[in-house]
Amino acid sequence: MSQVWIYAELKDGAVKKVASELLGAARAIVEQRGGAEVAAVLMGEGVGALAEDLGRRGIGAVLVADDPVLRDYRTEPYAAVLADAVKARKPSAVLFPASLQGKDLSARLAGKLSAPLATDCMALDEVAADSLTVTRPVYSGKARAKVRLTGPVQLVSFRPNVLPPVEGAGTTPRVETLPVAVDPAVAARVVVKERLEEARGKVELTEASIIVSGGRGMRGPENFALLEELASVLHAAVGASRAAVDAGWRDHASQVGQTGKTVSPNLSIACGISGSIQHMAGMGSSKYIVAINKDPEAPIFKVADYGIVGDLFEVVPKLTEAARKALA
Amino acid sequence: MNIVVCLKQVPDTETKIRVAPGGLDIVRDGVNYQVSPYDEFAIEEALRLREKFGGQVTLVTLGPQKAEDALRFGLSMGADRAIHVKDETLLGGDPLGAAAVLAAAVKDEAFDLVLTGKLAIDDYQEQVGALLAERLGLPSVSLVTKLEIAADGKRATVTHDVEGGREVVEVALPAVLTCQKGLNEPRYPSLPNIMKAKKKPIDVKDAAALGVDAAVVGPGGARLTLVELSTPPPRQAGKRIDGDPATAAATLVRLLREEAKVI
């Protein structure tokens, strides 16, 4: 009876919370396919102790690939080890977070296994013995595609925040070791030289449950400090519209919209953003949208759950203050 | 330095998406097409490298007749030649199929580097670059925002996006790199270059010429198939919160906590 795997991605030495979100989908697949179990795959160097954390989340089996060659995430060594494991143990599906790493790894793995991969999924629709049907955004979120994956193993990445996290009964997991056999010549093809400091501790935009974004109405790069402050109170990530990025106020990595990132947070607070079709495509699947804009005719108000017509330079500091008080 | 750029023609970013009857395609009437924006970063980077190191920039696409416009656009930016895989039996396959076709078109070219966009803005798969690298047996780095080639042309130092930040890696060439916004500002084709592009060679190839089997890499062999397209339910305008900034802010925080329960 085959297992369903979830890839337990790490960030700063801990398992990301998205593992608990994937667990729900993995259990649904297991139940409908009858009787097998969910296993988490843990990869890295010195990561064995994290198996307990996965057990606390209710995952009964953990497969650990622990080796110096896996110290830094690199596409080929990780994909090679995972492909060997899939070939040997034949899980019927492998679920990934639709993070940058999850998407990179799952794509290379799909190539190694000639297996179908659906990226960035928002829902698990149907489970059959040899197929899965899922829904994913296309056209930058302007449309949704229901797609079917067929084959002995299906690979799916789910966006963070779209699946409800599952709190399983804590357990001591059964830990098994995965063999690590990476061709040294292949491993040497990519060498990590430097992790830029900003990568540590920061909430990744596509994974944040709250995003505070600024647009043209921010008037200049220095004013984003207002949003940073609100974001720190809310444990949010800071995003930007294309207008703000193209003006050079914010880095491209913070752009939300058609040529930036497509996000699905629980809450998106849009400050000084008018709401172009391209921007809306990128953030339209937020569960709640708040708009703060001094132009009452701004299109963003047509989609916002809560709108404040006003000067963001007055409203945002008050909002930060009110949130700080409420969350204290 | 010879560089291959894989690109895709897509509906332009202004397109209002409507689903066609049957639910398996969008309404194509009146849609304008463009080179997928991330592929434009790839073309631009290839041109800059050629300007520095010499060599040739070859564009490759899989697409219908009208995809020739996308190739001509890339040629008018300054690419030297193009390969158009034009074969009805190969259209509508899945990413594995597309990568196999592109790999077949690329593998006999003498190249040092393959560049492509991180994704095409229509299907949003974000996997063809990595699949192509696997097919070609090459290393890949995704989401590249800075690229420097070593003097000997054997390695590249690449900055790319990782969770919450950036990382610098060294990669052995040839390699497949997927391009991300921030890498460069693509140039606009000049009028003389648009004229010149009309005379640049485009090799048209079909399944037989590439030695690929449409039953495997075309729609019939697809393991990822479209069941139905839909547009997201329209959002409704919600509550306007009135009052002076302090009152409005306090009301909003209360609603986010008690009604939406998101903070």
- HEC-encoded secondary structure of chain B: CCEEEECCEEECCCCCCCECCCCCCECCCCCCEEECHHHHHHHHHHHHHHHHHCCCEEEEEECCHHHHHHHHHHHHHCCCEEEEECCHHHCCCCHHHHHHHHHHHHCCCCCCEEEEECCCCCCCCCCHHHHHHHHHCCCEEEEEEEEEECCCCCEEEEEEEECCEEEEEEEECCEEEEECCCCCCCCCCCHHHHHHHCCCCEEEECHHHHCCCHHHHCHHHCCEEEEEEECCCCCCCCEECCCCHHHHHHHHHHHHHHCCCCC
Contact A189 B255 (CB under 8 A): no
Mean pLDDT to the nearest integer, A167-180: 90
Contact (CB<8Å) A145/B228: yes
Residues B143-159, mean pLDDT to the nearest whole number: 96
Q: Which chain A residue lies closest to B171 (C-alpha atoms)?
A: A190
Interface of B with A in 110-139 (CB under 8 A): 121-127, 129-131, 133-135, 139
Give B32-80 pLDDT, tens digit per residue. Answer: 999 999 999 999 999 999 999 999 999 999 999 999 999 999 999 999 9
pLDDT at A180: 98
- Which residues of chain A have a CB within 8 Å of the CB of B94? 116
* pLDDT at residue A213 is higher than 60: yes
Contacts of A302 in chain B (CB under 8 A): 235, 237
**Separation between Cα atoms, residue B244 and residue A237, nearest integer Å:** 27
Please judge whether B182 and A253 are an interchain contact, meaning their C-beta atoms are less than 8 angstroms apart.
Answer: yes
| Cβ–Cβ contact A44 with B under 8 A | no
Task: Give how far A239 is from chain B: nearest CA, Å.
Answer: 12
Cβ contacts of B253 on chain A, cutoff 8 Å: 319, 322-323, 326
H or E segment and range at residue A54: helix A51-56
Q: What is the mean pLDDT of chain A?
A: 93
Give B206's contacts (C-beta < 8 A, 6+ positions apart). B85, B86, B87, B90
Cβ–Cβ below 8 Å for B165 and A196: yes
> Does ipTM exceed 0.90?
yes
Q: Residue B132 has which token pair? A: 């192509």
| CB contacts, 8 Å: A299 with chain B | none
Task: Write the DSSP symbol of residue A285.
Answer: T
> Least CA distance to A238: which residue of chain B?
B164
CB contact under 8 A, A251 and B133: no
Within 8 A of A287 by CB-CB distance, chain B residues are: 260, 262
Residue A253 has pLDDT above 90, yes or no: no
pTM over 0.90: yes
Over residues B180-227, the pLDDT tens digits come to: 999 999 999 999 999 999 999 999 999 999 999 999 999 999 999 999
The pLDDT value given to residue A220: 96
Mean predicted lDDT score pLDDT of chain B: 96
Question: Do B121 and A259 count as a contact with CB atoms less than 8 A apart?
Answer: yes
Count CB neighbours of A20 within 10 A. Answer: 21
Interface residue A232 vs chain B (CB under 8 A): no
Residues of chain A found within 8 Å of residue B180, distances taken between Cβ atoms: 252
Q: What is the pLDDT of residues A105-143, one digit of tens each?
A: 999 999 999 999 999 999 999 999 999 999 999 998 899
Nearest to B225 among A147, A192, A195 (CB): A147
Q: Chains A, B: CB contacts under 8 A, how many?
A: 281
